[in-house]
A and B are shown apart, each in its own frame.
Chain A
């Protein structure tokens, strides 16, 4: 039952079931804990990772469906230092508890690849991640600033 996954550029041979959820394999097998567990049913987005560059909720993703694909977690988002998006999060003091922000940043960084200047409506339509601390107003401000819309 070996599954071969490529996570943040590194190959991992993992002895897990085909239907093991990617979230828990990333966290417990590979040991990358930046990706969070929030709901387990693809509702909250805390577990968002990139699969071939697209945002996907890993808690309901069976590992067999991502074999041969490029899996990127928050740890692999940038090879050196913070990305402009992460820096904008610091500049605008976005996080509070911070728990949802890995998923939030992964979801929004994927959006920005296809839509580098999202309007507030674009952002609201694309990003359904939950932040219980209520950082949405600052997320909007930070994304506007990044898009040069401020």
Chain B
């Protein structure tokens, strides 16, 4: 993807908050807003030095994180970045969530993606942010009102352009305050463990003692940053702040919200997307215990009861009638036929053409292949839910979303009230993976509308797993066709790739490989199936397509798949280092017995390069077992190396479930799968040994949450080909009968 260079429109601010702590942070507007920050968020005895760093009189330091916790550890790693530049005592540091207020928008993210190009159109935005536009959120809350956690962006943008700067600026202010107190040159002072030192006179002042003085200085807009060689906190495997509360059940997720007098709601949404509720007969549940109300929404019926299981059982008993928006006959096979037809059209939309493009296809030996990936559900462990209270024209909402501020704006829009009438409590999430990004807030809409039908009563709406799985915004079903021409050295002279899309061209289809003549074209296929960003977004499909086809080319050229990729990446030293590392650690050249094989894939996304080698066994009856996945990762460098490894491990398992089992199919216009038996997950028994090897490079910090996913499916498919001679061109693998007979 194209990463825009952030411009520096943000202004660093510092000062004393109303409660006496130093506060330093970013403002997106040239106005002093720390008093408002304090009023919103400072605890007694604290002052904001910026809106992102608070230092109290006892040196205790709080990093305010404008992102939400969905399990990726960013509260810890972003704190590391701020604490490093601040020279804070790690033991005195804590992190807390920023309130969902525009003052705490993650401006660096907005800056990185949006502000630097005000004339950007919606389809030029990275896919994970497109929902913010579709939602007219940009109009509601302006360019700055983003607290999005997604797109592997937290470290890359908030961390690099936000946390480091805020930490460095705060440190500079504290040094100035100490130097003035001692009447010495600030340049003669040093900092360490939340204190300023003057070595010549052997003096020390803790940050807490300097808070009031420091707040009188204006933070510089461009404070000097530490060179990497001086890092003491960044790059260390720091234990995550959030983990102790996640082993004893004390983390309160959205599902765990408790409010006095709270009622519970269960929903049934029209099975066919877009159909509306016509009628529902309430009589079957008229005498059921605990039922408070049946709420009719446009496309759903909701039962509110005193307990969730009573609401759930009641709503299942109802027989709602839906209208027919005309999609009741759509099937997966029908959608596939649309893909084939669209790709056969003569007027495909050009994305990029290099060299002579498709005209060069006649110059070498032709190789062709077409691949398809299915729709996928996100299926986070915590089903969608939200608690809402509508009282006296104001709304209070509790929910876990990947954008607290966006969620607040969305709720205001649903309730048709001003944003200051909405209080939003951002709860930790039991998984996000893109499902809880703005633009995909059906659960919030349903909860708010239900609460508005039950004034003055807090109502917790929970989707059952069936509703969650059947009313997701799915990873799109995509078909991709390749044609290549191989030269006498076996390497491709020409590369043509036509693929279906439900919005526009995908940057992730652009290949890292050196091919002189390329043409990329898209075929638009519209369906009524809602789609959205799913962990690694476009890379989740193009990674499979490109890396499967690259493997087919290697085999067509009768070359080793690693050596072949090396030849195509000869001008890409970072890719080569990742590829060489994974091949070495996996023992790529060590022979395996019959029935066992390895496959390799390498893909760059979110500025991180990941290669996997999958080692598999084809056992009795063609049963596939993935024995081991070895991974090499260049994310520039790691803020929290253990956290980066955990994210890659998690990405591998997420990608493995999709590769082996993941498939949402459509029948009669609706999703067929409803729960885990039919949308099966990888469990401990199917989880291979996973080894992650981190590389350091001088590249900018890359993402962690997503880049582990894309190379999984092609590495496994390529290993299956090596073992069996069977080429997997349609995922998931479970739909293919594997046998060693072909070999």
Chain B residues at the A interface, C-beta cutoff of 8 Å: 69-73, 239-240, 242-253, 255-256, 258, 264, 289, 307-309, 312, 379-383, 428-433, 462, 464-465, 642-643, 646, 649-654, 656, 675-677, 681-685, 687, 689-690
B586 to chain A, nearest CB (A): 16
Cβ of A36 and Cβ of B255 under 8 Å apart? yes
- Of residues 25 through 41 on chain A, the ones whose CB sits less than 8 Å from some CB of chain B are 27-29, 31-41
Chain A residues in the interface with B (C-beta under 8 A): 16-17, 20-21, 24, 27-29, 31-41, 43-44, 46, 73-75, 77-78, 82, 86, 89-90, 93-102, 105, 123-125, 127-140
Given contact pairs A24-B307, A97-B428, A124-B685, a sample of 14 additional A-B residue pairs in the complex whose CB atoms are under 8 Å apart: A27-B256, A31-B258, A38-B383, A43-B677, A74-B249, A82-B247, A93-B643, A96-B73, A96-B650, A99-B380, A100-B381, A101-B247, A131-B653, A133-B431
Q: Give the tally of cross-chain contacts (CB within 8 A).
A: 184
CB closest chain-B residue, reference A123 = B684
B652: chain A residues within 8 A (beta carbon): 134
Q: Which of A94, A98, A130 contacts B683 (CB 8 A)?
A: A130
Selected contact of B242 from candidates A98, A125, A133, CB within 8 Å: A98
- Measured in the bound complex, the distance between the Cα atoms of B258 and A124 in whole Å is 35
Partner of A96, one of B72, B245, B681: B72
Enumerate chain A residues within 8 angstroms of B643, measured Cβ to Cβ.
Answer: 93
Q: Give the residues in chain B near A17, CB-CB below 8 Å.
A: 289
Contacting residue for B650 out of A37, A77, A133, CB 8 A: A133
Query: B-side binding surface: helix, strand, loop or mixed?
Result: loop
Kindly identify which residue among B307, B430, B431 contacts A29, using a CB–CB cutoff of 8 Å.
B307
Residue of B nearest to A24 (CB): B309
5 A–B contacts, CB within 8 A, in A order: A97-B432, A99-B253, A100-B430, A125-B685, A133-B431
Are B650 and A134 closer than 8 Å at their CB atoms?
Answer: yes
The 10 closest A-B pairs by CB, nearest first: A34-B249, A134-B653, A99-B430, A98-B246, A97-B71, A96-B71, A74-B249, A33-B256, A134-B650, A124-B685
Say whether B381 contacts A93, CB under 8 Å. no
B334 to chain A, nearest CB (A): 30
CA distance A118 to B672 in the complex (A): 38
A46-B381, A90-B243, A131-B381 known; A36-B430 Cβ under 8 A: yes
Quote the shortest CB–CB distance from A45 to chain B (angstroms): 9
Q: Is the CB of B309 within 8 A of A21?
A: yes
CB within 8 Å for A138 and B646 given contacts A35-B249, A95-B246: yes
| Across-interface contacts of A77 in B (CB, < 8 A) | 248
B248 and A82: CB pair below 8 A?
Answer: yes
| B251 / chain A contacts, CB cutoff of 8 Å | 98
Cβ–Cβ < 8 Å partners of B682 in chain A: 134, 136
Q: Does B249 contact A73, Cβ atoms closer than 8 Å?
A: yes
Beyond A41-B675, A127-B684, whether A97 also contacts B247 by CB under 8 A is no
Complex formed: what's the CA distance from A105 to B690 in Å?
A: 21
Contact among B380, B428, B464 with A132 in the assembled complex (CB-CB below 8 Å): B380
CB neighbours of A35 from chain B (8 A): 249
Q: Are B676 and A44 in contact (CB under 8 A)?
A: yes
Alpha-carbon distance A146/B5, docked complex (angstroms): 48
Please determine whether A39 and B252 come into contact, CB atoms closer than 8 angstroms: no
Q: How far is the CA of A33 from the CA of B252 in the complex (A)?
A: 8
Q: Give B239's nearest chain A residue, CB to CB.
A: A93
Given A33-B249, A82-B248: A134 and B649 within 8 A (CB)?
A: yes
Q: How far is the CA of A90 from the CA of B245 in the complex (A)?
A: 10
Residues of chain A with a CB closer than 8 A to B656's CB: 134
Q: B382 contacts which of A28, A36, A75 (Cβ < 8 Å)?
A: A36
Determine the distance from Cα of A40 to Cα of B674 in the docked complex, in whole angstroms: 11
The reply to whether B252 and A97 contact each other, CB–CB distance below 8 Å, is no
A90 x B684 contact (CB < 8 A): no
